[in-house]
Structure 1
Amino acid sequence: MTLTFKALERAPVDSRHDLDAVLEAVRFNADGLIPAIAQQHDSGEVLMMAWMNREALEETLRTGRVCYWSRSRGTLWRKGESSGQQQHLKSAALDCDGDTLLLQVEQMGPACHTGRRSCFYVLLEQDGARIGSAPLIDPDTLYGKA
């Protein structure tokens, strides 16, 4: 844990801290990424987990439109740029170690590339795995046929 996050442990409620200094202390992994969990701000529904680098995080904070880092494409990925199913930031929080983000978002339509509201639809149970939700939109409609 960095000294910055150690100091924040004892900071009073509503105290203000320099954003650049906090971002400098964020514990990005060896690839320069941090996991970001997106949660629907009003229902608490966990929608997805993706990765952000510092540039994606700064863009998200600056614009209010959630931007991730696409590991497969090696580029910034603005949620909804292909599907139209954007995420708008309501709030962002770092965990106590500065190595995970929680994004409270307003999700427009499905969050998952499968057309489901949430990426977390494969339910693991004692006797097997069960699909817990159906797609809201056919993925071919979202992304066009391959």
Structure 2
Amino acid sequence: MSSTPPPSSLDPEIAARLKRSADGLLPAIAQQYDTGEVLMLGWMDDEALHRTLTTGRCTYWSRSRQEYWVKGDTSGHFQYVKSVALDCDADTVLVKVDQVGAACHTGARTCFDADVLPLSQ
């Protein structure tokens, strides 16, 4: 991503509150709205957040491909947005969704169930 963010239609009042990383991104946590299950982490810039807020579908910024992607457009595993919240520092977005199918690119329901680390006791 370039150092100058692309133009965005995000509400200027929301944009002014955001604390972005050096590359203009915010981590976006997707959580199943009714069970609380944490599904995945993606990245959003102002335009991705705007699209998520206005379309009702999660739009992310791909750091590897340098392009926007809408969850489900190629996989059929859609995320329908139920709510969007900023954390207390305004540097992370929590998107509560109704996940249809797998959230993880591996085909798993969540990105966080295959590699659980042991706790030292």
TM-score over 0.5 for the alignment? yes
| Percent identity of equivalent pairs | 55
Q: Distance in 2 between matches of 1:94 and 1:112?
A: 23
Q: Which residue of 2 aligns with 1:124?
A: 117
CA distance in 1, matches of 2:88, 2:12: 17
SS at match of 1:123: coil
Q: What is the aligned partner in structure 2 of residue 20 from structure 1?
A: 12
CA–CA separation in structure 2 for the residues paired with 1:87 and 1:80 = 7
Cα deviation, residue 80, structure 1: 1.1
Q: Which runs of 5+ in 2 are unaligned?
A: 1-10
Which residue does 1:77 correspond to in 2?
69
Give secondary structure in 2 for the equivalent of 1:125: coil
1:64-99 CA-partner distances (Å, limit 9, x unpaired): 011000001000011111111010100000011110
State how many pairs are aligned: 109
Q: Distance in 2 between matches of 1:126 and 1:99?
A: 28
Q: CA RMSD in A?
A: 1.1
- For structure 1, the 5+ residue unaligned runs are 1-18, 128-146
- Give the structure-2-normalised TM-score: 0.86
Larger proportion of helix:
1
Q: Which residue of 1 aligns with 2:8?
A: none
Higher RCO (C-alpha under 8 Å, 6+ residues apart): 2
Tell which structure's C-alpha radius of gyration is larger. Answer: 1
- TM-score with structure 1 setting the length: 0.72
